[in-house]
Chains A and B, each alone.
Chain A
Amino acid sequence: MGAIIRCRGVEKIYRQGAVDVPALRGIDLDIESGDFATLAGPSGSGKTTLLSLIGGLDRPTAGEISVDGEPIVKMEKNRLADLRLHKIGFVFQAYSLIPVLSAAENVEFILRLLDLPMHEREARCKEVLREVGLEGLEKRRPSRLSGGQQQRVAVARALGPKPAIVLADEPTANLDSKNAEELIALMAHLNATSGITFLIATHDSRVMAHSRRRIEMMDGKITADERQDATVAA
């Protein structure tokens, strides 16, 4: 399978007052299509920064990133938004749902941005909500859903447009262990059945246990990149 994400010499330096703080120092990384990979490492190691750069939420100070073969570093703002809409699904630690929309509307909202006809939207919306186990809760607003249910809505929203990759930033951090395990199982199941690529930044050992590839980060560098069958020193 080809690389869906390709990072070459990616650096990110944040300026805090007069001080330059390097967050990423020369990252080279390929994520293959169908991967279920985790980015692990302590706080401040650069996991979230790398995820932001791969998702086009921020721009690197140096280096090249391409998503599904498209270089994104110098991509114009609107094209970048379109690329995220079509190819990248996001799942955040804090669920980040739109509070005034119901579970179904949160999913359908993204599908509307894709200009899908109504019948397709409705069908896709039902399908992904069923996949994440939220049948019967479609009309509930986020405030009337548990944390685990909200995170499932976030996963459904990410899956709605059939993205090439889902980027998840600490998706289990706000969940109790039962909900966390259910969510991990759900993502692993989706990866196994639908072949959706997942790249998950996490501290959670349970998530790492499910992943087929574990990328360790420390001080803005990749220190290890382990697969089920092999360990590659970075």
Chain B
Amino acid sequence: MLVALAWRNLWRTPRRTLLSLLSIALVVAVLVFMLSFQLSVYAAMKQNTLKIFDGYAQFQPKGYISDPALDRTIAHAETLARDAVAINGVTEAAPRVDAFAILANGQRSYGAAVIGVDPERESKISSIAAMIHMGRYLGPADTDAAILGDVLARNLALSVGQKVTLLGAARDGSVAADVLRVVGLYHSGIPDLDRSILEMPLSRAQGTFAMTGRANTIALGGPSLGAVNDALPALEALGLQHGVSIVDWSTMEPAMRDAIALDISIGALLYLTLVVVVAFIILNTLLMSVLERTREFGTLLAVGMRPSLIGQMVWIELLGLALVGCAIGFVVGAGITLKLEHYGIVFSGVSEIFARFGLPPRIYPALTPASALIGPGAILLSIALGGIVPYVRVVRLTAASAMRAT
């Protein structure tokens, strides 16, 4: 009864109701689309950045994240890697030797990270193999091959086919020295990466740096970052058995984590403002409607309707308005998002800036449960809570004073 009456009351002033619905729908549509877009940007940033080198998670020796010394190693790396891929959500586990050496070519020498990788497994976790723009990536049969960033190669005046000498300290403190043949150069577009990494075959690196059977890290891959994140508890348990830690993306990329957190905070402030503004507009409209109907409420009280029941009716009117507005806004916002989910949005002219943040030039907003529900939920909640004001106003009415109202 109350619902039917409330619904009819809403349509007493169709123009006012339509305008209110439009305001709610507009804000909800904006929230659904913007949140979908924003969350997709974060997902793309994380996915792309982690895919370049880190992997979605890593096994590391305890304390390695703060002190990545060569002698902090995972003893039975292959066993751990094999056990890791048995966990649901993890499809790849690539052990790595993460060493540091002086690279030299003739008179030129530069310090660089020397990463020992298993080419086959590594290429499924890291996109460096796909960034080779000269020569080729490491192959399973390679023994003395190396690939390096094009900036590093330029600094060392190296090109494909030439030899590079590396000189560093091995795990046991001995001198690690090797001569490798450059088989490929990669270009990631990230200057730090392009000037600081050389990759060589894992077994060769283990020999050079006295790391036989050992690794410094094991990079993990899966069908998606979310899948690996979901597997973190199982990975943590496995790590404990092996005396190592599991490190997730936010620990590996704290700068990206902080940037995303900051962006979320700024976005949340903006969205909150929108929600509060629209909630105030709707509440103000309903309060006007309550004032206009004070005499009528007096009649309802006089004929025996309890004040709380009249308050509920007003509250249902408000909630009905919010629900319909949110539904319309959701359909519009989700519709636009789903359309763009298919075609993507191209931000022409900013592809280089995007690349610096690990973003592709075309962003595909994706409708997720979070992006679909947060906006409408916030609007509904704020309007429902705000509805306490007209409710209390109505409940406090006395029949005599209400009927005297003009």
Asked if A58 and B400 make an inter-chain contact with CB atoms under 8 angstroms apart, the answer reads: yes
Q: Is B47 an interface residue (CB 8 A)?
A: no
Contact of B1 among A86, A96, A112, A158 (CB under 8 A): A112
* B247 interfacial by beta-carbon distance below 8 Å: no
Q: B385 at interface (Cβ–Cβ under 8 A)?
A: no
The contact of B305 among A55, A88, A113, by CB within 8 Å, is A113
Residue numbers in A under 8 Å from B12 (CB-CB): 99-100
Instruction: Verify if A198 is at the interface (C-beta below 8 Å from B).
Output: no
Bound-complex Cα distance A16 to B247 (A) = 75
The answer to whether the Cβ of B302 comes within 8 Å of any Cβ in the partner chain is yes
Chain A, residue nearest B299 (CB): A96
Q: Which residues of the partner chain B approach A161 to less than 8 Å between Cβ atoms? A: 304
Q: Are B305 and A92 in contact (CB under 8 A)?
A: no
**Chain B residues near A99 (CB-CB < 8 A):** 12
A157-B299 Cα distance, complex, nearest whole Å: 12
- B251 located at the interface, meaning its Cβ lies under 8 Å from any Cβ of chain A in the complex: no
The interface residues of chain A lying within 8 Å CB-to-CB of B299 are 90, 92, 96, 98
Q: Is A57 within 8 A of B303, CB to CB?
A: no
Of residues 130 through 174 on chain A, the ones whose CB sits less than 8 Å from some CB of chain B are 157-158, 161
A204 on interface, CB distance cutoff 8 Å: no
Known: A78-B308, A100-B12. A58 touches B5 (CB 8 A): no
Question: Do residues B8 and A101 form an inter-chain contact, with CB atoms below 8 A?
Answer: yes
Question: How far, in whole Å, are A10 and B35 apart by their CA atoms in the complex?
Answer: 65
Interface size on B, residues (CB 8 A): 24
In the complex the two chains form, is B306's CB within 8 Å of A78's CB? yes
Q: Name A29-86 residues within 8 Å CB distance of B.
A: 52, 55-58, 77-78, 81-86
Q: Smallest distance from the beta carbon of B310 to chain A beta carbons, Å?
A: 10
Indicate whether A57 sits within 8 Å of B305 (C-beta atoms), given known contacts A92-B299, A99-B12.
no
Evaluate contact between B400 and A101: CB separation under 8 angstroms.
no
Alpha-carbon distance A144/B308, docked complex (angstroms): 31
CB pair A85–B296 under 8 Å, yes or no, is no
Q: A58-B399, A100-B9, A101-B8 are in contact. Are A77 and B296 (CB under 8 A)?
A: no
B14-27: CB near A (< 8 Å → 1, else 0) gives 00000000000000
Please determine whether A96 and B301 come into contact, CB atoms closer than 8 angstroms: no
* Structural contact, A81 and B1, CB atoms closer than 8 A: no
Specify which chain B residues have a CB less than 8 angstroms from the CB of A86 in the assembled complex: 304
- Which residues in B have their C-beta under 8 angstroms from that of A157? 303
Residues B302 and A101 in contact, CB atoms below 8 Å apart: no
Q: Does A110 count as interface, using CB distance less than 8 angstroms?
A: yes
Interface size on A, residues (CB 8 A): 29
Cβ–Cβ contact B304 & A113, under 8 A: yes
User: In the bound complex, do residue B305 and residue A101 qualify as a contact, i.e. CB atoms below 8 Å apart?
Assistant: no
Instruction: Knowing A52-B400, A100-B8, A101-B8, say if A110 contacts B302 (CB, 8 Å).
Output: no
Distance between Cα atoms of A77 and B242 in the complex (Å): 71
Query: In the assembled complex, how far is the CB of residue A102 from the closest CB belonging to chain B, in whole angstroms?
Result: 10
Residues of A within 8 A of B305 (CB): 81, 85, 113
A60–B298 alpha-carbon span in the complex (Å): 18
Q: Are B398 and A90 in contact (CB under 8 A)?
A: no
Q: Is B403 touching A109 in the complex (CB atoms < 8 A)? A: no
Contact of B296 among A52, A81, A82, A98 (CB under 8 A): A98
Judge whether A57 and B1 touch: CB under 8 Å: no
Chain B residue nearest to A157 in the complex (CB): B303
Kindly state the separation between the CA atoms of A147 and B12 in the bound complex, as whole angstroms: 21
Give the one of B298, B304, B306, B400 with max A CB within 10 A: B304
Residues in B neighbouring A88, C-beta threshold 8 A: 304
- A89-133 vs B, CB cutoff 8 Å, 1 = contact: the mask equals 110100010111100000001101100000000000000000000
CB-defined contacts of B300 to chain A, threshold 8 Å: 98
Q: CA of A113 to CA of B302 in the docked complex: distance in angstroms?
A: 13
Enumerate chain B residues within 8 angstroms of A77, measured Cβ to Cβ.
306-307
For residue B401, which residue of chain A has the nearest CB? Answer: A58
Q: Which chain B residue shows the least CB distance to A88?
A: B304
Q: Contacts A96-B296, A99-B12: A85 and B1 contacting too (C-beta < 8 A)? A: no
Q: What are 18 A-B pairs with beta-carbon distances under 8 A?
A: A52-B400, A56-B399, A57-B301, A57-B398, A58-B400, A77-B306, A77-B307, A78-B306, A81-B301, A81-B304, A82-B306, A85-B305, A92-B299, A101-B5, A109-B5, A113-B304, A113-B305, A157-B303
A positions within 8 Å CB-CB of B: 52, 55-58, 77-78, 81-86, 88-90, 92, 96, 98-101, 109-110, 112-113, 157-158, 161
